Amino acid sequence: MEASIMDGAGRRCGAVSGLTTVKNPISLARLVMDKSPHSYLAFSGAELFAKQQGVEMLDNDYFITEDNVGMLKLAKEANTIMFDYRIPTLGSESCSAVVDNPLLTMNGLPISIYAPETVGCVVVDCHGRCAAATSTGGLMNKMMGRIGDSPLIGAGTYACELCGISCTGEGEAIIRGTLARDVAALMEYKELSLQEAVDYVIKKRLDEGKAGLIAVSSNGEVAYGFNSVGMFRGFAKENGFMEVGIW
């Protein structure tokens, strides 16, 4: 598991990778930001820091669920790495069969509900201060030692005085496009609005079908964009307005 958090007001950040026993990686990322002299801790060093900080740690078995074992089996059989809620086509190198077939079930549930496990959150407070955070188990059937975009500040997560951004999808594509930082850079250097910056980045900086992102700006604008099949998302405003979406 891996996670990162950034407080846009002071451009402070913290990130962790290679965790196997920390229950809430995002809490550890915040402790790296608040309680360490560093920005990013990984593998045994991150686990040691977790112990020293007294965060909740659990036996590795806690994280192994029947659903994920099933999905991993599918991915291994297809010799593929999965980054969204499609199923692998047996024998193919990438997962391309979108799941709309009601007969495709696992543990009695339609396979399409097995969404990626990444969770991102962006917030803006009443003073216009933005923050962003992203936490993930990474990609199904990833190589040992692989680090994705989620803990990388500027790729999967970024916040500054202008906005907060969190990305999801194929980490390698998000890293290549420095998606999160590019949204902020377009606002800063080209003075685009949040939605214009998000649209530009999704169109010009991201390989087709690979990812998406959620964003807020310091003036309270909410924006999202994706070119993956769908992206589970929701937002809530101070007046109680809430909205959720998938496609």
Residues annotated as catalytic (active site), given as ranges: 118
* Smallest gap from residue 112 Cβ to ligand ASP (A): 15
Task: Kindly calculate the radius of gyration of the chain based on its CA atoms and give it in whole angstroms.
Answer: 18
| 169 is an annotated ligand-binding site residue | yes
Q: Least distance in Å: CB of 215 to ligand ASP?
A: 15
* 188 marked ligand binding residue: no
Contact between 8 and 164 under an 8 Å Cβ cutoff? The reply is yes
The answer on whether 147 is annotated among ligand-binding residues is: yes
Q: Which span sits near ligand ASP by CB under 6 A: 35-43, 143-151, 216-224, 233-241?
A: 143-151
Confirm if 55 and 87 have CB atoms less than 8 A apart. Answer: no
Backbone CA torsion sign across 24, 26, 29, 33: negative
Instruction: For residue 47, give the nearest of 37, 39, 58 by alpha carbon.
Output: 58
Number of amino acids touching ligand ASP (CB under 6 A): 15
Instruction: Tell me which of 171, 177, 184, 185 binds ligand ASP, using CB under 6 A.
Output: 171
Let me know: does 216 contact 163? Beta carbons within 8 Å: yes
Taking the chain, what is the end-to-end CA distance rounded to the nearest angstrom? 26
- Asked if 148 interacts with ligand ASP (CB under 6 A), we say yes
Distance CA 145, CA 71 (A): 20
**Structure tokens that stand for 169 in this block:** 């999808």
| Interface residue with ligand ASP, options 118, 135, 217, 218 (CB under 6 A) | 118
Which string of x and - marks every residue 21-50 that binds ligand ASP (by CB under 6 A)? ------------------------------
User: What is d(CA 163, CA 16) in angstroms, rounded to the nearest whole number?
Assistant: 22
- Residue found by looking up tokens 């990305």 in the block: 167
Give the interface segment with ligand ASP, choosing from 88-96, 167-175, 179-187, 232-240 (CB under 6 A): 167-175
Cite the annotated binding site for substrate by residue number: 146-149, 168-171
The footprint of ligand ASP (CB under 6 A) covers 83, 116, 118, 136, 138-139, 148-150, 156, 168-171, 174
